[in-house]
Structure 1
């Protein structure tokens, strides 16, 4: 029963519903980014949720480890998942885990570690739109998760008053020069266009419309 007054105002909330029998198949941990300043992860799938865009940091360790992440719940964290949710972030297993700092412009992320024992992690609401290409990470539009099932008019997306309808990201390099290729499968109207501003070459691109196959629209050296 909701006993709040009709005149009360509140922030958006995030609910993720999983069938009880399906949930019993997994070992998982679920945390709120606001209430989870630091944690030692020892096993299972890690899911972090937040109504606000947030960041997630894993400290380097001297142990072998790797991680795969999807922008969905623990029941969709593995390959061949039910809702066809794609990989958003992947770090191959290495002898020395370098750690990461990820910015999640949406409500949820689930991470499957190759060996999570004793891994120290931290979450907060310090979301940044500036990304160093020399560091592991990923960029998405607000609320994107990429899951294709159940089909409800296209790829799923989370909508919230706390997520902007348009975003600007700065991709930079602090140590090296990179070749950058951008492939786009657009489904955009003019009010939600993709704009790319190349500061180094003084070039500007605008992409909108619909295309069913990837189109290479930009290459920067």
Structure 2
């Protein structure tokens, strides 16, 4: 009763190719969440936001794409703010709290206590070093410093596609197609997502590092998430609990770390994983 409806019309020619559409809806009545955020929303393909034309931090930047994509922030050598990212919309972030896991975070020179974040989330590096976020899903939101919006981030750009090759020096993540890790929410689904081809990712470091890794998965033993650490050739098979999500934490000591992540899907959309690493604790 009184349920709003939305009709999407494809105005292209009948012979034109069609594909999945990403639709993101934000509550706009009552509290009007959409109107209370300083937010910019972009499509990933062809996206470029030059710092030279934006003097202040946007607060939030949300980027969307039907295909997996890579979002980059160029370095900017000023005392720039904190930043963090979730694979969800800007309305899932309330200050520095969210039902979605922080997949990337950089707190710059501001302490974890001031940010009201657990100390384990503090990244040793300043956010002005820039970032590269590989998004195996339709959406990502980056929240920039809400305490000091006077400094705009470096140039932001996006390209279609991901490599699954990341440095350990910054926090980051690798996950199965469409899986965001948000509490109580189903993974994103698309006909473009491949649940038959094995995933192989490489997390590399040229210097001895200490790193904490969290693995969230509901996989069974036949489709375990395999983590292999190169310096000792140690392998760890991570699974869920009776088909339900479980979190496993691994701590690697100071060593020349090269970590590989391998996962073979079960051919359905029902199994998923998310591997996060928090950057070096020096």
TM-score by length of 2: 0.65
Q: CA deviation at 1:23?
A: 0.6
SS in 2 for 1:188: coil
Q: CA deviation at 1:117?
A: 2.2
Q: CA deviation at 1:73?
A: 0.7
Quote the Cα distance in structure 1 between the aligned partners of 2:91 and 2:100. 10
How far does the alpha carbon of each residue in 1:189-215 deviate from its partner, in whole angstroms, 9 at most, with x for none? 346421123333233333324177644
Q: Which structure 2 segments of 5+ residues have no match?
A: 1-8, 110-125, 256-282
Aligned to 2:229: 198
Q: How does 1:129-140 map to 2 (within 5 A)?
A: 129-140=164-175
Aligned to 2:105: 90
Q: CA deviation at 1:125?
A: 1.4
CA contact (8 A) 1:37 1:124 kept: no
How far does the alpha carbon of each residue in 1:38-59 deviate from its partner, in whole angstroms, 9 at most, with x for none? 4335323111111111111111
CA contact (8 A) 2:48 2:155 kept: no
Q: CA deviation at 1:219?
A: 4.3
Q: How does 1:112-191 map to 2 (within 5 A)?
A: 112-114=143-145, 115=149, 116-117=151-152, 119-148=154-183, 151=184, 155-165=185-195, 166-173=198-205, 175-190=206-221
Change (3 A) 1:35 1:79: same
Quote the Cα distance in structure 1 between the aligned partners of 2:227 and 2:20. 31
Q: State whether structure 2 residue 22 is matched by structure 1 residue 14.
A: yes
Q: What is the root-mean-square deviation of aligned Cα atoms in Å?
A: 3.0
How far does the alpha carbon of each residue in 1:63-105 deviate from its partner, in whole angstroms, 9 at most, with x for none? 2222121111111133376x72222211113378211122111
SS in 2 for 1:35: coil
SS in 1 for 2:67: coil
Quote the Cα distance in structure 2 between the aligned partners of 1:138 and 1:84. 17
Q: Which structure 1 segments of 5+ residues have no match?
A: none
Q: State whether structure 2 residue 103 is matched by structure 1 residue 103.
A: no
Q: How many residues align?
A: 214
Quote the Cα distance in structure 1 between the aligned partners of 2:246 and 2:161. 35
How far does the alpha carbon of each residue in 1:88-135 deviate from its partner, in whole angstroms, 9 at most, with x for none? 211113378211122111111111111342632111114111111124
List, as ranges, runs of 4+ consecutive aligned residues in structure 1 with deviation greater than 6 Å: 3-8
Aligned to 1:74: 90
